[in-house]
Amino acid sequence: MKQRGFTLLEVMVALGILGFIVVATHQIFQTSLRTNELSEQTIAELEGLQTTFRLMEQDFSQISRRIGRNEAGDSAEQYLIAGRNLLDSQFDGVGFVREGWRNPAYLLPRSELQAVGYRVFDDNLERIYKVYVDSLDNSEPRKHVLLNNIEEFKVTYRDNKGKWLEKWQNKELPLAVAIEITIKDMQPIKRLFLVPGSGEK
């Protein structure tokens, strides 16, 4: 029996089908990679937000009625300082003294109080703090970048009359603090933090 080979047309059709399969497989692979990258990015952003709000809750829930001093030795007039561009922030900035900074048996040369603040610097949300509450030297605060690509950072304050204020100028602590963060390509995210022992005495 005489064997018959493939014709040129059959070879061209087979190559065309093979090429289509290769291109389709490559596109599926690239799409899977992009999807995986976006998923990992989204997960990282969510984890960053969870960490940020957890830190804020810990800080705001332990605010102390402690007034710190600056490099000149002058005392602040408020337990919580706040304002636009405070702490060199691009947007709102807020600072206060918190309790509960663990120092077992006082082994470290510091107290259990910590001066902390939140600001946006170079589009990054930072938690800043100093080892000593009373800043009697010119040392720069230590920084911890929490989130990137910040487009807005807004802080509002609830007073003892139930009103939300964009500025806080009272000596006493607010009843609550609301933080609204806008990250690039994301909707604004808002969280409310209660302040213990707050209100006018």
Over residues 116-157, the pLDDT tens digits come to 999 999 999 999 998 888 765 567 889 999 999 999 999 999
pLDDT given for residue 123 in this prediction: 96
Tokens 């809750």: give the residue.
Answer: 57
Handedness of CA 47, 141, 94, 88 (dihedral sign): negative
What would the two tokens of residue 144 be?
């911890």
Measured distance CA(123)–CA(149) in Å, rounded: 5
Between residues 112 and 183, the one the model is more confident about: 183
Q: Three-state DSSP class for 41?
A: helix
* 60 neighbors 179 (Cβ within 8 angstroms): no
Residue of 64, 126, 141, 66 whose CA lies nearest to 100: 64
Q: What pTM was estimated for this model as a whole?
A: 0.75
DSSP code, position 123: T
Q: How much is the average pLDDT of 9-24?
A: 82
| Residue 109 binned pLDDT confidence (cut-offs 50, 70, 90) | low
Domains and CATH numbers, the chain: 59-194 (3.10.610.10)
Using a pLDDT cut of 70, give the percent of the chain over it: 84
**Helix-strand-coil split of the chain, %, nearest 5:** 30, 30, 40
Which carries the bigger pLDDT value, residue 121 or residue 43?
A: 121
As a whole number, the mean pLDDT across the chain is 84
